[in-house]
């Protein structure tokens, strides 16, 4: 636990110190380097916790240190680090760089705490600590109308979802008399059915579903991704979205182990998740096909990927309710967690590539991607690999997690979800390939080489290396996801 506390201290110190650096009149970039250093330290600490820390709780069970938390903390902090590095290059952060980094670090701190939250109140505080800075970050290009618009929309809808979560927490407390998640689970284990509690679960799903970008709570996603500064959009797509998933796992799936939403009816958690999964992936893919802007295409593709991740949730809930298919449930949650990790890598790479294009060429419509391979070869290659991985082409990393997800449901009564997912996966290749074709085959407006800054190239190399490396040697990663998934089964 000392490790996590150290990570918290490092992030807090840098987040608070960053504006002070500005006040002290130091060079603006010093805050960027301080933040990057703090994030590196935090990642190292979480890694150390993974290696040496056990499953312990502290602060009176407000936080609990387990493999699941480590997995999410590593993902969100790594993404934050990548965003911090590339933000050095983007113009929007130049004026108020210290505040920008301060907000970024506060959000990262919120996500870190959220990963380990074991109490509903702690979870809510962490949730807000994560969300509030992002509302500001979305509007950080304050001179650009779209950025302001994105911030306003995101903030209002975000507040709505926070209110829904808070209402769900209060209902839960009213029914069970505790806010500790393990306490809630223990209490509900003896109570077969309570309509108020069921309503609370549905409210949780809606509230968390907002961040997870599940249809129909997804409407803000394309607008916010498009309007926000691109590096911030990367954060939304790959980090805060993951926070929605960890919250859902910590709360809703924990409750699912003992409580059926509505006994003796088809309205079960498994079916809710399954339907949301299929609707989300289908709508995401169909809408992505018709987009004209890269950011919106990525946004819809990100929505579709959330649908795949939900498949594991569905089979988990199903197995907990029926007591059957435990092996499938382990497989499904392993697939979900692995896909969450992979999605952060794949979508992170795609978003950062789009970020660089936007920074250098000032456009994000798909036409600017024509002939990109000649102008920005490294960026185009990164984007191509990430699209292949997102499409599930073997042997890249996305293939394995999708394979696990498909396998987990194919021989269960939820097989129709697998069918829908496989069809979706094939369908999605259509728009992924379309972009790859544009970049490599089509004639661009110009063939002039465009500078690709060093920091971006390093991040691209790391991400492409991860996509191919995990694809070729997935053992360790699957083992990690498997360990985290197994910890859900008590």
Partner 1 sequence: MAAVPLPSYFVWLIFILPYVGTVAAPLTGKGRVRDAVAVLFPLLSALFALDLLIPVIRGDTISLVNSIIPASVPWIPELGISFGVLSDPYTVIIANLVAWISFLVMLYSVDYMKGDRGLTRYWFFMNFFIGSMQLIVLSNNLLGLFIGWEGVGLCSYALIGYYYHDETENWVGTPGSTALGEEQAYPPSHAGMKAFVMTRVGDLAMLAGILILFVFSGTFNYHDLATSTGWATALAASGLLVPVALLIFGGAVGKSAQFPLQEWLPDAMAGPAPVSALIHAATMVNAGVVLVARIGPIFYFALASNPALIQPFFMVVAWIGAFTAFMAATQAMVGFELKKLLAYSTVSQIGYMMLALGLAGLSTNFAEGLSAGLFQLMSHAIFKAALFLMAGFLIHLTGTKYINEMGGLKDKLKITFSIFLIAAAALSGIPPLSGFWSKDAILATAWGAGQYGLFIVGSATAGLTAFYAFRMLGLVFYGIRAKPGGGDTGHEPREPSPLSWVPYSVLGVGTVVIGILGFFNLGNFLQASAITYIYSLFSGASFSTLSPTSPFNYTSSLITIGFVIMGLFFSIQLYVRRKLPPSRIVGGSKLAGGVHRFLENRWYINAVYYKVFVNAPLRASYWAFDNLEVGGLERVNDGARALAMWFSAGGNWFDRNVIDLVSNGAAGSGQRLSRAFRRLQTGVLEQYALVLAVGLIILLLLFLLLSGVRLLI
> Footprint of partner 1 on this chain (CB under 8 A)?
148-149, 152-153, 156-157, 160-161, 164, 195, 198-199, 202-203, 205-206, 210, 216-217, 219-220, 223, 261-262, 264-267, 272, 283, 286-287, 289-290, 331, 334, 388, 393-395, 400, 403-404, 406-407, 410-411, 418-419, 422-423, 426, 429-430, 433, 437, 440-443, 474-475, 478-479, 482
Least distance from C-beta 237 to partner 1, angstroms? Answer: 18
Cβ proximity to partner 1, 195 vs 323, nearer residue: 195
Cβ proximity to partner 1, 96 vs 148, nearer residue: 148
Cβ proximity to partner 1, 10 vs 272, nearer residue: 272
Whether the bond between 56 and the residue before it is cis, its omega within 30 degrees of 0, is: no
Cβ proximity to partner 1, 53 vs 139, nearer residue: 139
d(CA 261, CA 274): 14
Least distance from C-beta 452 to partner 1, angstroms? Answer: 18
Cβ proximity to partner 1, 148 vs 257, nearer residue: 148
Contacts of 104 (CB under 8 A, 6+ apart): 35, 80, 83, 84, 87, 133, 137, 235
Least distance from C-beta 9 to partner 1, angstroms? Answer: 36
Cβ proximity to partner 1, 56 vs 219, nearer residue: 219
Q: DSSP secondary-structure letter at 119?
A: B
| CA dihedral (52, 55, 56, 57) positive or negative | positive
Virtual torsion, Cα 316, 321, 325, 331, nearest 10 deg: 10
Least distance from C-beta 418 to partner 1, angstroms? Answer: 8
Least distance from C-beta 480 to partner 1, angstroms? Answer: 11
- Per the CB < 8 A criterion, the answer to whether 133 and 43 are in contact is no
CA max distance for the chain: 69
d(CA 137, CA 93): 10
Least distance from C-beta 149 to partner 1, angstroms? Answer: 5
Least distance from C-beta 233 to partner 1, angstroms? Answer: 17
d(CA 69, CA 36): 22
DSSP letters spanning 154-190? HHHHHHHHHHHHHHHHHHHHHHHS--BHHHHHHHHHT
Least distance from C-beta 106 to partner 1, angstroms? Answer: 25
Least distance from C-beta 175 to partner 1, angstroms? Answer: 14
Helix ranges (DSSP H) in 249-396: 254-256, 269-289, 294-322, 326-361, 372-375, 377-390
DSSP letters spanning 365-426? BGGGGTTHHHHSHHHHHHHHHHHHHHTT-TTSHHHHHHHHHHHHHHTSTTHHHHHHHHHHHH
Q: Which helix (H) or strand (E) holds 58?
A: strand 56-58
Cβ proximity to partner 1, 199 vs 462, nearer residue: 199
Cβ proximity to partner 1, 210 vs 313, nearer residue: 210
Contacts of 12 (CB under 8 A, 6+ apart): 109
- Three-state SS for 56? strand
- Packed helices 145-176 and 220-227: angle between N→C axes, nearest 10 degrees: 140
Least distance from C-beta 254 to partner 1, angstroms? Answer: 20
Cβ proximity to partner 1, 101 vs 387, nearer residue: 387
Place of tokens 């169909």: 286
Cβ proximity to partner 1, 99 vs 285, nearer residue: 285
């Amino acid at each position: 636990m000392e490790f996590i506390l150290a990570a918290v201290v490092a992030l807090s110190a840098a987040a608070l110190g960053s504006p002070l650096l500005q006040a002290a009149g130091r060079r603006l970039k010093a805050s960027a380097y301080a933040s990057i250093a703090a994030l590196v330290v935090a990642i190292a600490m979480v890694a150390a916790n993974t290696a040496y820390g056990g499953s312990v709780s502290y602060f009176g069970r407000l936080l609990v240190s387990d493999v699941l938390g480590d997995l999410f903390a590593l993902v969100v902090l790594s993404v934050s680090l990548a965003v911090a590095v590339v933000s050095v290059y983007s113009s929007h952060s130049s004026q108020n760089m210290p505040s920008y980094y301060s907000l970024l670090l506060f959000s990262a701190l919120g996500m870190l705490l959220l990963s380990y939250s074991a109490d509903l109140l702690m979870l809510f505080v962490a949730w807000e600590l994560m969300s509030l800075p992002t509302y500001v970050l979305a509007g950080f290009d304050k001179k650009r109308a779209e950025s302001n618009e994105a911030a306003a929309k995101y903030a209002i809808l975000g507040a709505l979802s926070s209110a829904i979560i808070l209402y769900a927490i209060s209902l839960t407390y009213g029914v069970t008399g505790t806010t500790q998640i393990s306490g809630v689970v223990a209490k509900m284990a003896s109570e077969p059915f309570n309509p108020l509690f069921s309503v609370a679960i549905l409210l949780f799903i809606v509230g968390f579903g907002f961040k997870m970008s599940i249809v129909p709570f997804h409407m803000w996603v394309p607008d916010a991704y498009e309007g926000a500064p691109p590096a911030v959009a990367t954060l939304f797509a790959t980090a805060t979205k993951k926070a929605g998933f960890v919250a859902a796992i910590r709360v809703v799936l924990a409750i699912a182990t003992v409580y059926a939403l509505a006994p003796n009816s088809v309205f079960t958690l498994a079916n809710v998740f399954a339907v949301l999964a299929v609707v989300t992936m289908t709508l995401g893919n169909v809408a992505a096909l018709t987009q004209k802007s890269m950011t919106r295409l990525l946004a819809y593709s990100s929505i579709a990927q959330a649908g795949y991740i939900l498949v594991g949730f569905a089979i988990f809930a199903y197995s907990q309710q029926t007591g059957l298919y435990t092996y499938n449930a382990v497989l499904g949650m392993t697939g979900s967690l692995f896909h969450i990790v992979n999605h952060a890598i794949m979508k992170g790479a795609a978003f950062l590539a789009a970020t660089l294009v936007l920074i250098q060429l000032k456009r994000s419509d798909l036409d600017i991607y024509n002939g990109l391979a000649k102008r920005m070869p490294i960026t185009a290659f990164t984007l191509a690999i990430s699209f292949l991985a997102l499409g599930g082409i073997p042997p890249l990393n996305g293939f394995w997690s999708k394979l696990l997800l498909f396998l987990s449901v194919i021989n269960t009564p939820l097989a129709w979800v697998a069918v829908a997912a496989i069809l979706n996966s094939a369908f999605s290749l259509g728009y992924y390939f379309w972009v790859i074709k544009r970049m490599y085959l089509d004639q661009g407006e110009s063939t002039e080489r465009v500078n690709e800054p060093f920091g971006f190239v390093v991040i691209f190399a790391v991400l492409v290396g991860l996509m191919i490396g995990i694809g070729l040697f997935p053992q360790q990663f699957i083992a990690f996801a498997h360990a985290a998934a197994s910890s859900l089964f008590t």
